Amino acid sequence: MVEKKLPLYLKEVYGDFYNKAKLSAWFDKNWMQSLLTLGNNKTLTNALLKEIYPSCKVLQLGCTFGRQMLETAAKIGTYGIYDVLDISNIQLKRCKEKFDHLFPQVRYVQMNANTPLKKNYDVVILYMLLHEVPHRQKAKILQAALDSLKEGGKVVFIDYHKPKIWHPLRWPVKLFNRLYQPFAEILWDREVDTFVKDKSKYIWKKTLYFGGFYQKMVVQKKFSDEFADEKPFVPYQP
Ligand SMILES: C[S@@+](CC[C@H](N)C(=O)[O-])C[C@H]1O[C@@H](n2cnc3c(N)ncnc32)[C@H](O)[C@@H]1O
């Protein structure tokens, strides 16, 4: 793979996190992901898996650590398509080494997630990606994800959300975000659909987890009404 230029925020904000193989491998451990998601890794992965079915065509924007990609590939199975897109060569290489012997059908693409691919995916996964990117990128990436869907297909977005007022971790995490995750807090204040221009083309369904801390937003592309003007079908009556 040819090395592509990484976006500035990736180096400036997350340092070597995605660019040093050893560090990346360390964060790949399941216990580490459970810690980082405050024990919710399994819940969130299972929430995603509910939206995937065997043999479907899936595009994932951004590699993840831990169990999510492995379980997604297993659920899609040998007859489906699983394309994984990431801007970081190191991350793609790590995933390829990890999964190639088990799931040789997974395709790895080095590209910025703000580029729409062919419009033929059943499911596009955005798993904990948007909180890491600057706000204008959020809108571009969401639009690219929606543009890559076939009619009736869905984007499954899993990320942070504003916790309930009583949540004991609300203030510590707010402080953590202010210090280390500058693009995350906006997901507390804005609904995901406010980043999309023509939101009426889609059906939006939100589910919250862990006292509102995390959200799953399933965004389904409506079927176009190209047949809407046709005369209604009248059954034969002798
Ligand atoms: C999807 S997030 C997930 C990290 C999260 N901590 C997890 O594993 O649940 C991180 C990935 O997104 C990638 N990424 C960030 N910005 C991107 C962009 N604009 N286009 C493509 N990939 C991007 C990073 O290189 C990294 O591999």
Pocket test for ligand 1, best of 132, 136, 143 (most atoms within 8 A of CB): 132
142 found inside a domain: yes
Nearest to 132 by CA among 194, 82, 64, 70: 64
pLDDT-wise least confident of 32-36, 62-66, 152-156: 32-36
pLDDT-wise least confident of 3-7, 23-27, 67-71: 3-7
Atom of ligand 1 nearest to the CA of 126: 1
Look at ligand 1, atom 12, and give the residue with the nearest C-alpha: 62
pLDDT at 4 over 70: no
Q: What's the CATH number where 205 sits?
A: 3.40.50.150
Q: How confident is the model at residue 226 (pLDDT cuts 50, 70, 90)?
A: low
Cβ within 8 Å of residue 157, ≥6 positions away: 126, 130, 142, 145, 192, 215, 216, 217, 218, 219
pLDDT at 237 over 70: no
> Can you give the residue range of the structural domain that contains 117?
8-221
Look at ligand 1, atom 27, and give the residue with the nearest C-alpha: 63
Cα 124 to ligand 1 centroid, rounded to whole Å: 14
Q: Convert 106-130 into a string of H (helix), E (strand) and C (coil).
A: CEEEECCCCCCCCCCEEEEEEECCH
pLDDT one-digit tens code per residue, 81-118: 999 999 988 889 989 999 998 899 899 999 999 988 87
Instruction: Decide: 136 and 205 in contact? Cβ < 8 Å.
Output: no
Residue 62 Cβ contacting ligand 1 at under 6 Å = yes
84 found inside a domain: yes
Task: Look at the chain and report how many structural domains it folds into.
Answer: 1
pLDDT at 31 over 70: yes
Q: Whole-angstrom Cα distance, residue 4 to residue 25?
A: 21
pLDDT at 3 over 70: no
* Average pLDDT over the chain, rounded to an integer: 90
Residue 72 Cβ contacting ligand 1 at under 6 Å = no
More confident residue, 167 or 28: 167
Residue 122 Cβ contacting ligand 1 at under 6 Å = no
156 found inside a domain: yes
Residue 133 Cβ contacting ligand 1 at under 6 Å = yes
Q: How confident is the model at residue 46 (pLDDT cuts 50, 70, 90)?
A: very high
User: What pLDDT does 162 receive?
Assistant: 96
231 found inside a domain: no
Residue 51 Cβ contacting ligand 1 at under 6 Å = no
